[in-house]
Protein backbone atom coordinates (compact mmCIF):
# COMPACT_ATOMS: atom_id res chain seq x y z
CA UNK A 1 0.00 0.00 0.00
CA UNK A 2 1.21 3.50 0.72
CA UNK A 3 4.90 4.01 1.51
CA UNK A 4 4.27 5.09 5.10
CA UNK A 5 2.26 1.98 5.93
CA UNK A 6 4.99 -0.18 4.40
CA UNK A 7 7.64 1.57 6.49
CA UNK A 8 5.64 1.02 9.68
CA UNK A 9 5.16 -2.66 8.87
CA UNK A 10 8.82 -3.19 8.01
CA UNK A 11 10.16 -1.52 11.16
CA UNK A 12 7.51 -2.69 13.62
CA UNK A 13 9.61 -5.53 15.00
CA UNK A 14 12.87 -3.60 15.22
CA UNK A 15 13.80 -2.14 18.63
CA UNK A 16 13.88 1.64 18.53
CA UNK A 17 17.36 1.53 20.09
CA UNK A 18 18.58 -0.02 16.83
CA UNK A 19 18.04 3.26 15.00
CA UNK A 20 20.77 5.89 15.27
CA UNK A 21 21.79 8.87 13.18
CA UNK A 22 25.18 10.25 12.26
CA UNK A 23 26.60 13.30 14.00
CA UNK A 24 30.13 11.90 14.04
CA UNK A 25 31.10 14.04 11.05
CA UNK A 26 30.26 17.12 13.11
CA UNK A 27 32.14 15.73 16.10
CA UNK A 28 35.20 15.05 13.97
CA UNK A 29 35.07 18.61 12.65
CA UNK A 30 34.77 19.97 16.17
CA UNK A 31 37.77 17.94 17.35
CA UNK A 32 39.78 19.17 14.38
CA UNK A 33 39.01 22.81 15.25
CA UNK A 34 40.03 22.29 18.86
CA UNK A 35 43.20 20.41 17.97
CA UNK A 36 44.24 23.16 15.57
CA UNK A 37 43.57 25.84 18.19
CA UNK A 38 45.68 23.99 20.78
CA UNK A 39 48.39 22.87 18.34
CA UNK A 40 47.92 19.18 19.14
CA UNK A 41 46.87 16.03 17.31
CA UNK A 42 43.17 15.23 16.93
CA UNK A 43 43.86 11.98 18.76
CA UNK A 44 44.68 14.02 21.89
CA UNK A 45 41.16 15.48 22.05
CA UNK A 46 38.31 13.50 23.62
CA UNK A 47 34.71 13.85 24.77
CA UNK A 48 33.61 16.68 22.49
CA UNK A 49 29.82 16.66 22.20
CA UNK A 50 27.40 17.42 19.39
CA UNK A 51 23.92 18.08 20.78
CA UNK A 52 20.77 17.99 18.68
CA UNK A 53 20.39 18.03 14.92
CA UNK A 54 22.83 17.52 12.05
CA UNK A 55 22.17 21.03 10.79
CA UNK A 56 23.07 24.64 11.32
CA UNK A 57 21.38 24.57 14.74
CA UNK A 58 23.56 21.80 16.17
CA UNK A 59 25.38 22.65 19.40
CA UNK A 60 29.08 21.69 19.36
CA UNK A 61 30.06 21.58 23.03
CA UNK A 62 33.67 21.59 24.23
CA UNK A 63 32.93 22.33 27.89
CA UNK A 64 33.17 18.69 28.96
CA UNK A 65 36.04 17.78 26.65
CA UNK A 66 39.55 16.75 27.68
CA UNK A 67 42.96 17.02 26.06
CA UNK A 68 46.12 15.03 26.59
CA UNK A 69 49.08 17.37 27.14
CA UNK A 70 52.52 16.05 28.08
CA UNK A 71 50.93 12.68 28.76
CA UNK A 72 48.41 14.11 31.23
CA UNK A 73 44.63 14.27 30.63
CA UNK A 74 43.25 17.67 31.60
CA UNK A 75 40.09 19.72 31.00
CA UNK A 76 40.20 21.23 27.55
CA UNK A 77 38.65 24.54 28.59
CA UNK A 78 41.42 25.09 31.14
CA UNK A 79 44.13 24.29 28.62
CA UNK A 80 42.56 26.52 25.98
CA UNK A 81 41.50 29.36 28.27
CA UNK A 82 39.39 31.07 25.61
CA UNK A 83 35.75 30.85 26.62
CA UNK A 84 34.71 33.57 24.18
CA UNK A 85 36.01 31.56 21.21
CA UNK A 86 34.36 28.35 22.47
CA UNK A 87 31.01 30.15 22.66
CA UNK A 88 31.29 31.89 19.30
CA UNK A 89 33.65 31.09 16.41
CA UNK A 90 34.11 27.46 17.42
CA UNK A 91 30.38 26.80 17.32
CA UNK A 92 29.62 28.69 14.12
CA UNK A 93 32.60 27.18 12.27
CA UNK A 94 31.46 23.64 13.02
CA UNK A 95 27.83 24.46 12.26
CA UNK A 96 28.66 25.89 8.84
CA UNK A 97 31.58 23.65 7.86
CA UNK A 98 29.59 21.52 5.41
CA UNK A 99 28.29 24.55 3.55
CA UNK A 100 31.78 26.07 3.50
CA UNK A 101 33.25 22.93 1.93
CA UNK A 102 30.58 22.86 -0.77
CA UNK A 103 31.11 26.54 -1.51
CA UNK A 104 34.89 26.11 -1.78
CA UNK A 105 34.97 22.84 -3.74
CA UNK A 106 31.62 22.69 -5.44
CA UNK A 107 31.30 19.23 -3.90
CA UNK A 108 30.37 17.79 -0.53
CA UNK A 109 32.99 16.35 1.81
CA UNK A 110 32.28 12.75 0.81
CA UNK A 111 35.52 11.26 2.15
CA UNK A 112 35.09 12.99 5.52
CA UNK A 113 31.53 11.68 5.69
CA UNK A 114 32.70 8.18 4.79
CA UNK A 115 35.29 8.26 7.57
CA UNK A 116 32.67 9.48 10.02
CA UNK A 117 30.37 6.60 9.06
CA UNK A 118 33.25 4.20 9.69
CA UNK A 119 33.98 5.81 13.07
CA UNK A 120 30.29 5.69 14.02
CA UNK A 121 29.77 2.04 13.12
CA UNK A 122 33.09 0.96 14.67
CA UNK A 123 32.21 2.50 18.03
CA UNK A 124 28.62 1.24 17.79
CA UNK A 125 29.85 -2.33 17.41
CA UNK A 126 33.12 -2.43 19.38
CA UNK A 127 32.14 0.12 22.04
CA UNK A 128 33.69 3.32 23.33
CA UNK A 129 36.96 3.38 25.26
CA UNK A 130 36.97 3.53 29.04
CA UNK A 131 36.47 7.12 30.19
CA UNK A 132 35.40 8.31 26.75
CA UNK A 133 32.08 8.95 25.06
CA UNK A 134 30.98 9.81 21.55
CA UNK A 135 28.15 11.74 19.90
CA UNK A 136 25.31 9.83 18.28
CA UNK A 137 21.76 10.63 17.33
CA UNK A 138 19.59 8.28 19.41
CA UNK A 139 16.02 8.08 20.66
CA UNK A 140 15.62 10.46 23.58
CA UNK A 141 14.58 9.03 26.93
CA UNK A 142 13.94 12.47 28.41
CA UNK A 143 17.55 13.10 29.43
CA UNK A 144 18.59 16.76 29.71
CA UNK A 145 14.91 17.75 29.40
CA UNK A 146 14.79 16.72 25.75
CA UNK A 147 11.32 15.19 25.34
CA UNK A 148 11.29 11.42 24.99
CA UNK A 149 10.73 9.85 21.60
CA UNK A 150 12.63 12.19 19.30
CA UNK A 151 15.96 11.33 17.69
CA UNK A 152 18.51 13.77 19.11
CA UNK A 153 22.30 13.74 19.25
CA UNK A 154 23.57 13.03 22.76
CA UNK A 155 26.88 12.01 24.28
CA UNK A 156 26.75 8.22 24.67
CA UNK A 157 28.88 5.41 25.97
CA UNK A 158 28.62 2.12 24.13
CA UNK A 159 29.27 -1.43 25.25
CA UNK A 160 30.77 -3.92 22.80
CA UNK A 161 27.92 -5.37 20.77
CA UNK A 162 26.01 -2.13 20.33
CA UNK A 163 24.24 -1.29 23.59
CA UNK A 164 24.44 2.47 24.05
CA UNK A 165 23.61 4.63 27.05
CA UNK A 166 23.19 8.40 27.23
CA UNK A 167 25.83 9.98 29.46
CA UNK A 168 24.16 11.42 32.54
CA UNK A 169 25.02 14.23 34.94
CA UNK A 170 26.73 16.72 32.62
CA UNK A 171 26.03 20.18 34.00
CA UNK A 172 24.29 22.65 31.70
CA UNK A 173 24.34 26.42 32.07
CA UNK A 174 21.87 28.86 30.56
CA UNK A 175 23.96 29.27 27.42
CA UNK A 176 24.03 25.52 26.75
CA UNK A 177 20.35 25.08 27.57
CA UNK A 178 19.38 27.77 25.07
CA UNK A 179 21.42 26.08 22.33
CA UNK A 180 20.06 22.63 23.16
CA UNK A 181 16.45 23.84 23.11
CA UNK A 182 16.94 25.67 19.80
CA UNK A 183 18.18 22.57 18.01
CA UNK A 184 15.42 20.46 19.61
CA UNK A 185 12.81 22.92 18.33
CA UNK A 186 14.12 22.50 14.81
CA UNK A 187 13.98 18.72 15.10
CA UNK A 188 10.41 18.91 16.38
CA UNK A 189 9.44 21.11 13.44
CA UNK A 190 11.00 18.56 11.06
CA UNK A 191 9.16 15.69 12.77
CA UNK A 192 5.87 17.55 12.47
CA UNK A 193 6.47 18.26 8.79
CA UNK A 194 7.43 14.62 8.13
CA UNK A 195 4.24 13.39 9.81
CA UNK A 196 2.21 15.83 7.72
CA UNK A 197 3.80 14.62 4.48
CA UNK A 198 3.26 10.99 5.50
CA UNK A 199 -0.41 11.67 6.18
CA UNK A 200 -0.81 13.42 2.82
CA UNK A 201 0.88 10.50 1.04
CA UNK A 202 -1.63 8.09 2.57
CA UNK A 203 -4.63 10.09 1.34
pLDDT 10s digits, 125-177: 999 999 999 999 999 999 999 999 999 999 999 999 999 999 999 999 999 99
Q: Kindly report the pTM of this predicted structure.
A: 0.90
What does pLDDT average to over the chain? 91
Which residues are identified as catalytic? Answer: 54
DSSP string for residues in the chain: --HHHHHHHHHTTS-GGG--B--HHHHHHHHHHHHHHHTS-GGGEE--EEEB-SSTT-EEE-TT-EEEETTEEEEHHHHH--HHHHTTHHHHHHHHHHHHHHHHHSS--HHHHHHHHHHHHHHHHH-PPTT--EEEEEE--SGGGPPTTSEEEEEEEE-TTS-EEE-------HHHHHHHHHHHHHHHHHHHHHHHHHHHHT-
The answer to whether residue 94 scores a pLDDT higher than 60 is yes
Amino acid sequence: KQWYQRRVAITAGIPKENFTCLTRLDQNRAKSQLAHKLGVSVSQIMNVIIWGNHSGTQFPDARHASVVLNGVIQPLTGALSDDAWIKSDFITTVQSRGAAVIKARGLSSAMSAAKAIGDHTRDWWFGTKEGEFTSMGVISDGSYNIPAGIIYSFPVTIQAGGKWSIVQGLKQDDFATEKMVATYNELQEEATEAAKLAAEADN
